[in-house]
Amino acid sequence: MKNVEPDLLERKGGINTTYERTLRDKLITLIKGFWYDTVENIILNKQRFLYEKNYANEENEPFVSVYTPTYNRSSILVERAISSVIRQSYKNFEYIVVGDSCTDDTEQQIEKVGDSRIRFYNLPKRGYRYPPTVENHWYAGPVVPANAALRMARGRWIARIDDDDMWTDDHIESLLRSAQEGNYEFVTGDSLIEKEGIRKIGKGNKVFSKYYFPKDKSFKGRNPYVGSTSSFFYRSYLKIFKYNIDCWRKNWNRVNDIDLIVRFANAGVIFGHLDKVVTYIIPRPGETTIASDAYIKDAENKLRHFEFKSK
């Protein structure tokens, strides 16, 4: 299979690259960017000082926190994400599913699974967070429940899986061993990706590349790939880096997970990549493509599905 490469639309951060930013957008982006650039390297070094020693001679099976943000997708959540997580060859984990104030039967369906490692928390409200365009739902939709899950995580390591993705049975085991052997703080792997009936292996994009940075960024040494969101695997002290609810205001790389990777890179996080398929990303039932393309093709339904309950 061939590797799938990013197109310009995805590289610019999702769907609408002609968005006219307001002065408020620019100011918030400027202030947050200054804060991230100034403080997060200091925070990372502090976290390393406090916790890096825990990874020097780590036990063979450390506790892992897996998390999924979700909203009213109970069937696909159980069929894909939950089913593939509970099939893992690696057993020492907790699985945190955070509902973004779900109104369907998500809680009941999770209870039927009957696995004590799964914890479900449903946010009490889902109020107005950003202008509710299909673009912004793609950029920032999972941010609030994802950050809630990170606050709840108790593991030595953290793994992310989206509700409509699936893992290989050895996903945790493979990424954990890769991270331990390479002494990486953050590691990802390859994904099997399906678009319009064509399946390809996606490695992701190089950390220091024009995918993540509008201009060439100098670097020394290794420059690994960063794979899909559902292959994110990292040391728990990095959970202090929260997803940015204002990512949609930017003029470049406006998707929440890309924003996070850029901040990891700027802070000096040590990246690794495993050249092995560990994640499956395929269209949801009734759809033919994935990611931002799926939102574009099904905009009306996506707007209705993700409608905010209050302003």
The pLDDT tens digits for 250-270 are: 998 899 999 999 999 999 999
Buried b (16+ CB within 10 A) or exposed e, 167-176: bbebbbbbbb
When pLDDT is cut at 50, 70 and 90, the band that residue 218 belongs to is low
Confidence at residue 1, expressed as pLDDT on a 0 to 100 scale: 39
Contacts of 297 (CB under 8 A, 6+ apart): 287, 288, 289
pLDDT band at 94 (very low <50, low <70, confident <90, very high): very high
What CA–CA distance (Å, rounded) separates 44 from 40?
A: 6
pLDDT greater than 70 at residue 220: no
For residue 50, the tally of other CB atoms under 10 A from its CB is: 10
Percent of all residues in the chain with a pLDDT value above 90, rounded to a whole number: 86
Residue 125 lies in a domain: yes
- The pLDDT assigned to 58 comes to 86
Judged by DSSP in three states, 125 sits in: coil
The long-range contacts involving 178-183, CB below 8 angstroms and separated by at least 24 positions, are: 178/272, 178/274, 179/233, 179/234, 179/235, 179/272, 180/55, 180/58, 182/272, 183/55, 183/270
DSSP bridge pairs for 67? 96, 160
User: 140: domain range?
Assistant: 8-12+19-305
Answer whether residue 254 is part of any domain: yes
pLDDT digits (tens, 9 = 90+) for 39-67: 999 999 999 999 999 999 888 999 999 99
pLDDT at 8: 35
Residue 1 belongs to a domain: no
Asked if residue 231 belongs to a domain, the reply is yes
The pLDDT, as a whole number, for residue 4 is 40
- Per-residue pLDDT of 152-193, as tens digits, reads 999 999 999 999 999 999 999 999 999 999 999 999 999 999
- Asked if residue 101 is part of any domain, the answer here is yes
> Average pLDDT in the 232-249 region?
98
Q: How confident is the model at residue 309 (pLDDT cuts 50, 70, 90)?
A: confident
Q: What is the pLDDT of residues 106-140, one digit of tens each?
A: 999 999 999 999 999 999 999 999 999 999 999 99
Q: What is the model's pLDDT at position 68?
A: 98
Answer whether residue 273 is part of any domain. yes
Examine residue 237 and state whether it is found in any structural domain, yes or no: yes
Check whether 221 has a pLDDT greater than 90.
no
Does residue 3 sit within a domain?
no
Would you say residue 202 has pLDDT above 60?
Answer: yes
Residue 125 tokens read as 């409200």
What's the CATH number where 292 sits? 3.90.550.10
Banded pLDDT at 5 (limits 50, 70, 90): very low
* Res 18: pLDDT: 53
- Structure confidence at residue 7 (pLDDT): 38
Report how many domains make up the chain.
1
Phi, psi of 243, rounded to the nearest 5 degrees: -65, 150
> Are 248 and 142 in contact, with CB atoms under 8 Å apart?
no
